[in-house]
Amino acid sequence: MTLAITTWNINSVRLRLPIVEDFLRQHNPDILCLQEIKCQNDQFPSEHIAALGYSNIVIHGQKGYHGVAICSKLPLTEDHRQDYCGMGDSRHISAVFEWAGRRIRLHNFYVPAGGDEPNREINPKFGHKLDFVEEMKALSADAEPGTAAILVGDLNIAPLEHDVWSHKQMLKIVSHTPVETDGLMEVMRRGAWVDVMRQHVPASDKLYTWWSYRAKDWAAADRGRRLDHIWSSADLAPLLSRIEVLKEARGWAQPSDHVPVTAFFDAP
């Protein structure tokens, strides 16, 4: 029995509902985690998504900005919304599901982008991002006894050298500055999280999930970044069979600048 979990920053779920529906019909993951849904809870297209078999939906929405949702074929319980930095933003939701005799807590995050200037003294958005990551350091993969954990989402940080198209040129660009990458690696270390994407794809290989709208020909330039992540607790990591980054989705009609990333776990 295989478990497939997809994370996707959709950049407005109502605007891009047609490609969400196409993706679910064609790829059929067990669980779809969306970020930047940009709508309030009652505006989320639950009926359309439920009609495709995803009747278990938990949402943390916000008018016009941010917002995260988990859409699942499997029953979801114990949903929780954490208000990181006390800003009132909808950037986190989690829920529990069961698979292969295991109880699993699934976290879905949308970390602040941080603006353009990597200096918190002149750019409050960057300071907010650093504070958000600092609070994430308290999140442990082993927080609940008898419960495994998976963390997904748009973390807006590309931590490794080959998570960006040019490590040297990106060192002073928000998403790859040392203060951000060191912070995210510390979140992983303190929380005993396993970066299962890099477990499957060696750190020496390029791996991207985002390509800017600003590029005239994003595919030819291929100046990507790995901003979207899938982590797990140590007990689930050996069950990972593969990772699929659906790069072709960046070329779909009215695409998000992020593409779906799916992790496949095989039952022992």
Q: Please give the chain's pLDDT, 268 residues, in tens.
A: 999 999 999 999 999 999 999 999 999 999 999 999 999 999 999 999 999 999 999 999 999 999 999 999 999 999 999 999 999 999 999 999 999 999 999 999 999 999 999 999 999 999 999 999 999 999 999 999 999 999 999 999 999 999 999 999 999 999 999 999 999 999 999 999 999 999 999 999 999 999 999 988 999 999 999 999 999 999 999 999 999 999 999 999 999 999 999 999 999 9
Q: Tell me what pLDDT residue 127 has.
A: 98
Place of tokens 């999140």: 139
In the chain the beta strands, taken as DSSP E runs, fall at 2-9, 31-35, 56-60, 68-72, 77-80, 92-99, 102-110, 148-154, 193-195, 210-211, 224-225, 228-233, 240-245, 261-266
User: Residue 222 annotated as binding?
Assistant: no
State the catalytic residue, choosing from 154, 163, 195, 228. 154
Q: Tell me what pLDDT residue 146 has.
A: 97
Order of strands across the sheet that contains 31-35: 56-60, 68-72, 31-35, 2-9, 261-266, 240-245
User: Residue 258 annotated as binding?
Assistant: yes
Sorted by where each starts, the structural domains of the chain and their CATH numbers stand as 2-266 (3.60.10.10)
User: Residue 131 annotated as binding?
Assistant: no
